[in-house]
Each structure stands twice: as C-alpha cells, then as structure tokens.
Amino acid sequence: MSDLKVRKGNKAQAKYWAEWFVETKKTQNWSLSDIDEGLMITWFANAMMAMYDTRPELIEDIIVEVGELIHYADSVTKILIENGYPGKAEALKDRYMKVYKLLDIKL
C-alpha cells in the first residue's frame, strides 16, 4: 500500500494504518529494536490527526446522504396522504423535519 492510498479516502481506518506500518517497516528494514516509543507515538499521532482531518469530509457525506433520505421520506409522506394515512404521514414528517433542522440541510 502506498502513502497515497492512506491519504486518499482511508485515513480514518485503523486497518490501513496498520498495513501501512507493516509495509513501511519492511521497506525501511526496521528491526524490532528500531520500533521504540517515540516511533509509535509519532505513528499513532499521525493516524489520529488523519482521522481528525477527514471528519469534515465524512460529515459532508453524511449530510448529503441524510438530505437524500429526507427527499425520499417526503415522497413517502405524500404517498401516505394519498392512500389515506395522514397520521402516519405527519409522524414521518415530524421525524425527518427534526433531522432536517438539526443538520441545517438545504433542500
């Protein structure tokens, strides 16, 4: 695995950081004595910062997905009303509007 793979899209996954560590250990010819506390602190700090750095991207993706679900729920609400279930439609709309307002989604 390359540095690029870790930086593009997989930053928040511990599995990829572990694989990258093993690959780096091999390419750098590290022995067990080379892997000290300082190296591990640096490695874990980088992994933690990468997770922090991807958080805005993940939140953006979540907001987009929730926005699409709200559009779908709005369509379902209309179908419920058309088929004589106004109470269920209103309950569904109340729930998705809470999420809509919480995330400040622009519909």
Q: Which pLDDT score is estimated for 82?
A: 92
Amino acid found at 44: F
Which of the 8 DSSP states describes residue 34? G
Length of the chain in terms of residues written: 107
Weakest-pLDDT range from 27-31, 74-78, 97-101: 97-101
Q: pLDDT for 26-45, tens place per residue?
A: 999 988 888 888 888 888 88
Give the tokens for residue 76: 């379902």
Q: Which pLDDT score is estimated for 84?
A: 92
Is pLDDT of 5 > 60? no
* Entry pTM: 0.44
Is the distance from CB of 20 to CB of 1 less than 8 angstroms? yes
